[in-house]
Chain A
Amino acid sequence: GENVEQHPSTLSVQEGDSAVIKCTYSDSASNYFPWYKQELGKRPQLIIDIRSNVGEKKDQRIAVTLNKTAKHFSLHITETQPEDSAVYFCASNYGGSQGNLIFGKGTKLSVKP
């Protein structure tokens, strides 16, 4: 079945540094790649997503890149702040547009002031 590998599982950075989280997927039909942020004790919330017809998307301090050939996509957070501390999940839609989301196991990001 579909598997989404996410690395690293934990990431600690100094405030102001950049953070990068990487994911790989296996289903060639996948065409949608969202990223969710889950703060401690709270629900996951979508922070950014990218579709397969786009290579990069940016929203203020966060950006996502996609390499369809290599089946890789990454989340980039610049100028990290303590409030960025959370668990981040990548996902891809297994089976394409009518499929369902498969999530990576998450990356716990800690931003130290």
Chain B
Amino acid sequence: DSGVTQTPKHLITATGQRVTLRCSPRSGDLSVYWYQQSLDQGLQFLIQYYNGEERAKGNILERFSAQQFPDLHSELNLSSLELGDSALYFCASSVDGASYNEQFFGPGTRLTVL
């Protein structure tokens, strides 16, 4: 157990819908990262937050947005869902925003868009 929690574990929804994925970092970690894992694309970095502020952006679609709240938990919002958004979404946390610190991954949320 990494100490990072994600809810829900599974999510099944229809195209065009909107969903929210939630992540709680390890106690004491200030930075949260979101990744998308598809079968043939490995781990794609989406976005990073540090202490409530957006720190870095990767290949995140405009239909996706995220935020980190004062209690440091983070939410990833996915809207106008398409079939291709079906994937495993991981959240990870690290002690601070430096890229050389270990990232601890949560168990993931498996999103299925029908």
In-complex Cβ contact of A89 among B33, B42, B107 (8 A) = B42
In-complex Cβ contact of B108 among A31, A43, A106 (8 A) = A43
Interface centre among B48, B55, B58, B106 (most CB of A within 10 A): B58
Query: Chain B: interface residue count, which band?
Result: 20 to 34
Chain A binder among B21-29, B77-85, B97-105: B97-105
A101 near B90 with CB under 8 A, answer: no
Please indicate the chain B residues that have their CB under 8 angstroms from the CB of A100 in the complex: 33, 45, 48, 55-56, 58, 99
A106 near B42 with CB under 8 A, answer: yes
Query: Chain A: interface residue count, which band?
Result: 20 to 34
**Given that A43-B2, A43-B90, A43-B108 are contacting pairs, would A101 and B102 also be in contact in the complex, using a CB cutoff of 8 Å?**
no
Whether A11 sits at the interface, judged by CB under 8 Å, is no
B42 near A97 with CB under 8 A, answer: no
Please indicate the chain A residues that have their CB under 8 angstroms from the CB of B56 in the complex: 95, 99-100
CA distance A105 to B48 in the complex (A): 20
Please indicate the chain B residues that have their CB under 8 angstroms from the CB of A105 in the complex: 40-42
Please indicate the chain A residues that have their CB under 8 angstroms from the CB of B97 in the complex: 98
In the complex, chain A residues 71-93 whose Cβ is within 8 Å of any chain B Cβ: 89, 91, 93
Whether B43 sits at the interface, judged by CB under 8 Å, is yes
**What per-residue 1/0 map shows which CB atoms of B34-66 lie under 8 Å from chain A?**
010000111111001000000110100000000
10 nearest A-B pairs in the assembled complex, by CB-CB distance: A93-B99, A105-B42, A32-B100, A43-B105, A103-B43, A100-B56, A106-B42, A99-B99, A44-B105, A46-B102
Spell out A's residues near B (CB within 8 Å): 31-32, 34, 42-46, 49, 51, 89, 91, 93, 95-106
Spell out B's residues near A (CB within 8 Å): 2, 33, 35, 40-45, 48, 55-56, 58, 90, 97-100, 102-103, 105-108
16 A-B pairs with CB atoms under 8 Å apart are: A31-B100, A32-B100, A34-B102, A42-B107, A43-B106, A43-B108, A45-B105, A49-B102, A89-B42, A97-B98, A98-B99, A99-B99, A102-B45, A103-B43, A103-B44, A105-B41
